[in-house]
A and B are shown apart, each in its own frame.
Chain A
Amino acid sequence: MTKHDAIVYVVDDDDAIREALGGLLRSVGLTMIGSGSPREFMAHDRADAPSCLVLDVRLPGASGLEFQRELAAANENIPIIFITGHGDIPMSVRAMKAGAVEFLTKPFRDQDLLDAIQGALATDRARRDQERSLSDLRTRLASLTEREKQVMAILVQGHVNKQIGAAIGTTESTVKAHRAQIMRKMQAATLADLIRMAGRLQFGAEPVA
């Protein structure tokens, strides 16, 4: 595991808890960034790495649950693990329903916390991979000319070159040339690949001019 492979954020107002968690995470090779309050956490620049948030329920100012809602409202997808000294069932149900990964009661077993963190990081990593590949595809799509996009839209609907040529008013050989360019730029090995990419991009869902 390299250094910035993953980052665990901890928000707890108790210095001793943050230090202890920092020590524990270091022992398993994870990097921790601790904050004493949600505001301090928000002030940090977030590293571009898979991450998760270990959040104390009882915090100065807003409660951890409120902060969870704020993050969701701000479209922050970071997985949250709650830790609390006085967790009751209704509170944990609310937290889990709002998307928390885990709800641990202090004092917790180190292995339980580490398992929850690994699970959360795996989730975040998968989400990030997904997002990254989608944004790659968007870049590739953007490199197509308007004509090529027009051809691709009809192509992924399962039409042959001849039909495409007729549809856009050009010869079959021109369509063939466009098609070769599309396959190269989109880095699609087969037509099936291209159709799948179009599906992920939701391309061709609406008629192309």
Chain B
Amino acid sequence: MPLRLLNSSAGLRNDNQTLAAPYALALLLVAAALASTLLLQTVYVGRPPLFPFFAAIAAAAWFGGKGPGYFASAVSVPLGLYFYVVARPDHDLHFRDFLLFVFFATCAFLGGALNSRHRKTEDGLRSAHRDLQAKATELQHANDALLAEMAERRRTEATLEAMRSKLGRVMRLTTMAEMAASIAHEINQPLTAIVTNGETCVRWLNAAEPNIAEAQDAAKRAVRDAERASQVVSRIRAMVRNALADREQVSLQACLDDVLALLLADLTAHQIEIRCEVPPALPTLFGDRIQLQQVFFNLLTNAIESLSETTGRQRDITISAERGRENTVVILLRDNGAGFQDCEPEQLFDSFVTTKPSGMGMGLSISRTIVETHGGTLTASRAIPHGAAFAITLPLSGEEP
């Protein structure tokens, strides 16, 4: 379709050719019409029908537009005059011949005008359609971009959330170290005074002439300082118990997912298979998300450490959760590692008791304190045939996730 191209912007590069080509085509079409009419005349008796001209005008108007349409009409009209009026075989001129000619000329111009008009409308529709399609494509692209942006945003949010929870853990550990240093100082001060007062008391008693009054004073000071030390200890206990900051609705599944994501590298490195089954419709817990994560982190880290020493069987960790009595959830963590053979399960939760060659023995003690401040319980048992099992019972807040 060369002429459609001429209407488009690509054709405007060569203006003269662009303008001349439709007129040349119009002329060519009219010529073809003339030829076919002359051809018809040889087989037709009487005046030949002139419809090839109509076809030529219509085609010229269609392909070339208004100008070439009128041009084809203008060229066809004298030819019509020739066939209707001049080239009459009988040379007997009638009024009806003029009438026919006028009719022909009118139809020729009308045909050109209507066709070019039709063409224009058609083109308008077509370009509108094209525009619409372009718009639709544009919208599609915008939509795609938006979707990509949303996915990106979700990813960023997830990363941010992961970092935030990691930061929370680091901060908590730092606070813990600071607290430990502060506790050590606060206990050490009265302890120093107690030791010094005790030794002073002994000195007064051991003197050549024992001084009972001074010895009593020193002993009283030692007692007073010991009371101060015990107050420090109770204050710390109360502090741990009342550390109820940052309570919120916590999804158990999300909580476990976060911890497992942090431990994924360790699990993979030690070829540990982990199964985690939490019922999908479990209501949320109400508590400190970071502290609860700390509990799972401690228990899972213990399991991983124990399993890293285990050989001769597939290393497994199983986490399962099910509804317990009175709107509670019972979470079971089991590994098939070495377990704890040398001590009773309850002993594990005493501070400074550890089955590990290097360890403070604080992890389980802290974990139990956290679970208890959440109104739950944490117990240990031996898994059959191998390993350790921990059961955490926590109250559910009743809100569906």
> Which residues in A have some Cβ–Cβ distance to B below 8 Å?
14, 16-17, 19-21, 23-24, 26-28, 58, 83, 85-86, 106-110
Contact = CB atoms under 8 A, between A and B. Distances in A.
Contacts of B191: 106-107
B192 A107 contact: yes
B221 A19 contact: yes
B214 interface: yes
Given A16-B221, A85-B188, A110 B181 contact: no
Q: Which 8 pairs show the lowest CB-CB distances between chains A and B?
A: A20-B196, A110-B199, A16-B193, A106-B192, A107-B192, A107-B195, A20-B193, A85-B188
A160 to B, nearest CB: 62
Contacts of A27: 200, 203-204, 207, 214, 218
Interface of B: 181, 184-185, 188-197, 199-200, 203-204, 207, 214, 217-218, 221, 224-225, 228
B188 A23 contact: no
B193 A17 contact: yes
Nearest to A111: B199
B203 A110 contact: yes
Contacts of A14: 189, 193
Contacts of B197: 20, 23-24
B187 to A, nearest CB: 9
10 contacts: A17-B189, A20-B196, A20-B225, A23-B196, A24-B196, A27-B207, A27-B214, A27-B218, A85-B189, A107-B192
Nearest to B229: A16
A195 B243 CA distance: 78
Nearest to A16: B193
B184 A20 contact: no
A19 B223 CA distance: 13
A100 to B, nearest CB: 18
A65 to B, nearest CB: 17
Contacts of B193: 14, 16-17, 19-20
A106 B185 CA distance: 10
Given A23-B214, A110-B196, A16 B181 contact: no
B188 A106 contact: yes
B192 A17 contact: yes
Contact of A26 (B184, B192, B214): B214
Nearest to B197: A20
Nearest to B196: A20
Contacts of B199: 24, 109-110
Nearest to A110: B199
B332 to A, nearest CB: 42
A108 B203 CA distance: 16
Contacts of A107: 188, 191-192, 194-196
Interface centre among A21, A23, A58, A83 (most CB of B within 10 A): A23
A86 B185 contact: yes
A42 B380 CA distance: 59
